[in-house]
Amino acid sequence: MPRLVIVSNRVSLPSDRKPKSGGLAVALQEALKGEALWFGWSGQVSDEVQNKALIETRKNLVFATLDLKPEEHRRHYQGFANSCMFPLLLYRPDLMIFRRDDLQGYLSVCGRFVEALAPLLKDDDLVWVHDNHLLAVGRTLRAAKSARRYGFFLHIPFPPYPVFTVLPCAKSIVGDLLAYDVIGFQTELDRENFLGTASFLFDIERLSDTEIRHKAQRIQVLVQPVGIDAKGFARAAERAVNGDMARRLKDSLAGRKLIIAAERLDYSKGLALRFSAFARFLDRNPQFRQKVSFLQVAARSREDVAEYQRLKREMDGIVGDINGRHAEYDWVPIRYITRSVARGVLAGLFRSAAVGLVTPLRDGLNLVCKEYVAAQDAADPGVLILSRFAGAADTMTDALIVNPHDPDGVAEAINKAMTMPLEERAERWGRLFEVVRTQSAALWCRTFVDAIAGKT
Ligand code: F6P
């Protein structure tokens, strides 16, 4: 079996006390069972010029990372990746800030990273690049060594072509994507949007539902949503629900029902509308006043990007306002935490919650909704409320599907979830758990690794 080389901006280093790679490390678990090299940014910013990657080895795995220089961090990470590409891909061209200097910064980071990666590669390695940060790496590596096979997976959405082509360098980004042998998306909509954009910008021949030809190259364009290990997460939740944090939470609830939401503090997550929906739920259903607590974990993220600073100030204000209006001397409706909470602890909190509220305005897939379902007690499961704009809504149809732009509709769904009889909760949960179990992280890894290896 050839070695797998994973390229992503964040790398989950074994020496990291707090992994920085989000859901990627979890999703990649299956792929990391074999021999693999994981290459990317160290998460550090330093003035020292590094031409060689820093190597850490753990058994079958090699981790190779590079620091970013301050200018690269500003132009590439804060600028092109998070102020231009991220809002654009999340259907927010209004928030997109395009600067030619940032584009240049992105290209030069991709170039420097390729120079450091190329000497580490073996001839038959399979290279799998993730997300938009280092997207150009595939084309540059291929130019150097064309025999190897290259795959790419986009964890976040791909918008329709009138949105994507707002980007002044849209054609070169799509050209970079077309340099891969396999391009993967979370949903059919993302694939169709990409193909629509690629056909608009290039001469593309569609050979089948999953294959296109561009120039002489055949490219597989696949849809397979990322997943979790449902049974493993369920076991973690069973353990954690008896742990210190979950016990403290339970004691503090004093018999009240818990609604939970957890994500990065990001404008795509729809927090303001969610808070407003919860406030309406309280206004319309006074019988639930003091009978329910809403725990929002919103881990601060990208704090050096202006839009995220603005968002943090706005959310602090909204939560303060709602709590100020509704709180009693012995009850605060919204508990708001802007630190990250360890996944193992979250598992227990999810299991303690009667309602999981997952209402992003747009999301590639959303693993939190899968984790909420996996964490539930089969004998008394909670109810998932899920935005129709999360990629997961395509398959998790037994959730209460809502439009997050309609706070009244979300408030109604909260009421429905809070009053849903056990029989209906159990039926919905059983079907949802089956989706989470079968659409697993392992299946996602196998699908792409086999495709990149040319087996499918
Ligand atoms: O949403 C895209 C994404 O790259 C996720 O895969 C990841 O969890 C998150 O952003 C991390 O963001 P950052 O690297 O900016 O902290």
The secondary structure of 23-84 as a DSSP string is HHHHHTTTGGGSSEEEEEEEEEE-SS---S-EEEEETTEEEEEEEEPHHHIIIIIIIIIIII
Residue of 8, 85, 155, 363 best suited for mutating to test ligand 1, as the one with most atoms within 8 Å of CB: 155
Residues near 354 by Cβ (< 8 Å), separated by ≥ 6? 257, 258, 259, 382, 383, 417, 418
Integer-rounded Cα Rg, in Å, for the chain is 22
Q: At what angle do helices 137-144 and 100-117 cross, to 10 degrees?
A: 40
pLDDT at 21: 56
pLDDT at 129: 97
Q: How far is CA 133 from CA 84, 252, 376, in A?
A: 11, 42, 35
φ/ψ of residue 4, rounded to 5: -95, 130
Q: Tokens 């329910």 map to which residue? A: 292
Atom 8 in ligand 1: which residue has the minimum CA distance?
A: 22
C-alpha dihedral sign at 310, 312, 315, 321: negative
Residue 391 near residue 364, CB atoms below 8 Å: yes
pLDDT at 436: 98
Alpha helices in 301-440 (DSSP H): 306-326, 343-352, 368-375, 407-419, 422-438
Q: How far is the CA of 22 from the centre of ligand 1 (A)?
A: 6
Domains of the chain, first to last: 4-227+441-452 (3.40.50.2000), 230-438 (3.40.50.2000)
Nearest to 418 by CA among 335, 294, 332: 294
Ligand 1 pocket by Cβ (under 6 Å): 9-10, 22-24, 82, 131, 155-156, 301-302
Atom 5 in ligand 1: which residue has the minimum CA distance?
A: 22
Residues 190-195: contacts with CB under 8 Å, at least 24 apart: 190/154, 190/157, 190/158, 190/223, 190/364, 190/391, 191/158, 191/221, 191/222, 191/223, 193/157, 193/158, 193/159, 193/160, 193/161, 193/164, 194/158, 194/221, 195/221
Q: How far is the CA of 205 from the centre of ligand 1 (A)?
A: 33
Out of 73, 76, 133, 155, the active site residue is: 155
Determine whether 363 is an active site residue: yes
Atom 13 in ligand 1: which residue has the minimum CA distance?
A: 302
| Pair type for strands 292-299 and 257-264 | parallel
Give 85's DSSP letter: I
Q: How far is the CA of 23 from the centre of ligand 1 (A)?
A: 8
Nearest to 219 by CA among 237, 239, 240, 194: 194
Nearest to 94 by CA among 158, 163, 193: 163
Q: At what angle do helices 306-326 and 271-284 cross, to 10 degrees?
A: 10
**3-state secondary structure at position 125:** coil
Atom 4 in ligand 1: which residue has the minimum CA distance?
A: 131
Residues near 239 by Cβ (< 8 Å), separated by ≥ 6? 344, 347, 348
Q: How far apart are CA 62 and CA 13, in angstroms?
A: 10
pLDDT at 310: 97
Q: How far is the CA of 10 from the centre of ligand 1 (A)?
A: 8
Atom 15 in ligand 1: which residue has the minimum CA distance?
A: 302
Q: How far is the CA of 299 from the centre of ligand 1 (A)?
A: 12
426: Cα within 13 Å, side-chain hemisphere: 6
pLDDT at 285: 97
pLDDT at 25: 84
Determine whether 155 is an active site residue: yes
Compute mean pLDDT per 10 residues along the chain, 456 residues long, and list them. 93 76 80 92 90 92 96 98 98 98 97 94 94 95 80 98 98 97 98 98 97 96 97 96 93 97 97 98 97 97 96 98 96 97 94 98 97 98 98 98 98 98 98 98 96 93
